[in-house]
């Protein structure tokens, strides 16, 4: 009798999920050009795999609900599941596996427009770039995993761990937070502008940091500046 070890089952499941991510990436790229379609095919597959891993963390196992979850990350907000209203639905009760999949598919119907507006107004993009095995890692470690995906097709990121650590230092110096999003954007600035981002900062940076803008507005300003100067979506 043929017996499969758990390690073999895990490999089969991972392989099947990778194939599903590759197929879904091409289909969803047309629906979400800004989040997915403008990226290299290899990065699309990684981002979809990361979305599925985040859904699986909530207990989702079925392809239709995985696709809905990924679509919400790409089309509404990559961190949509952190909103209290969404989190309450996803964790409600000790339901069987199928029930969490049904709840994910029903999210568009279960939540009022106000909640969707709140999520869309605060698009934190870091979750797109964090693989499943780094979801519990420290922010600096998550950014080290994220940087090669962000810059896929634009040259190799040398020593992403060191750049992530330096990004954390810059985030603290600029009065930002210690979250993954803050560190990622500062590390991305290092990749784009080099050491001069700190040693000889661009003229717009002191003006931005002397302002009374909120942390989120400052992060969005950094994101917009990178996009303006390079065409890169972080």
Q: What is the pLDDT of residue 17?
A: 60
Q: What is the pLDDT of residue 18?
A: 65
Q: Pull the structure tokens for residue 54.
A: 């985040």
Cβ atoms within 10 Å of 21's Cβ, excluding its own: 22
**DSSP assigned state of 33:** I
Higher confidence at residue 94 or residue 37? Answer: 37
Cβ atoms within 10 Å of 154's Cβ, excluding its own: 14
Cα distances from 123 to residues 7, 72, 118, 145, 189, in angstroms, run 37, 11, 9, 20, 18
Question: Which pLDDT tens digit goes with each residue over 52-92?
Answer: 999 999 988 888 889 999 999 999 999 999 999 999 888 86
Higher confidence at residue 36 or residue 95? Answer: 36
For residues 162-181, average pLDDT: 92
Q: What is the pLDDT of residue 27?
A: 82
| Contact residues for 121 (Cβ-Cβ < 8 A; gap 6+) | none
| Contact residues for 136 (Cβ-Cβ < 8 A; gap 6+) | none
Q: Pull the structure tokens for residue 200.
A: 């000889």
pLDDT at residue 96 above 70? no
pLDDT band at 50 (very low <50, low <70, confident <90, very high): very high
Question: Which pLDDT tens digit goes with each residue over 142-166?
Answer: 999 999 999 998 877 889 999 999 9
For residues 192-206, average pLDDT: 83
Higher confidence at residue 92 or residue 40? Answer: 40
Q: What is the pLDDT of residue 200?
A: 81
| Contact residues for 139 (Cβ-Cβ < 8 A; gap 6+) | 168, 178, 179, 180, 183
pLDDT at residue 210 above 80? no
């Amino acid at each position: 009798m043929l017996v499969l070890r758990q390690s073999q089952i895990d490999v089969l499941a991972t392989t099947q999920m990778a194939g599903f991510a590759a197929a879904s990436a091409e289909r969803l790229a047309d629906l979400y050009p800004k989040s997915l379609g403008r990226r290299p095919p290899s990065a699309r597959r990684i981002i979809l795999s990361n979305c599925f891993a985040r859904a699986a963390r909530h207990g989702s196992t079925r392809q239709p609900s995985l696709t809905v979850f990924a679509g919400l990350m790409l089309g509404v907000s990559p961190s949509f599941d952190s909103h209290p209203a969404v989190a309450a639905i996803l964790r409600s009760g000790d339901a069987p596996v199928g029930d969490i999949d049904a709840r994910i598919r029903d999210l568009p119907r279960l939540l009022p427009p106000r909640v969707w507006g709140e999520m869309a107004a605060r698009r934190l993009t870091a979750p797109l770039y964090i693989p499943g095995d780094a979801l519990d890692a420290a922010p600096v470690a998550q950014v080290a995993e994220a940087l090669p995906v962000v810059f896929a097709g634009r040259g190799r990121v040398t020593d992403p761990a060191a750049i992530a650590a330096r990004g954390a230092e810059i985030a603290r110096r600029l009065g930002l937070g210690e979250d993954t999003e803050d560190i990622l954007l500062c590390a991305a600035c290092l990749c784009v502008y080099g050491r001069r981002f700190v040693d000889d900062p661009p003229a717009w940076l002191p003006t931005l940091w002397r302002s009374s803008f909120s942390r989120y507005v400052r992060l969005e300003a950094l994101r917009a500046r990178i996009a303006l100067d390079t065409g890169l979506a972080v």
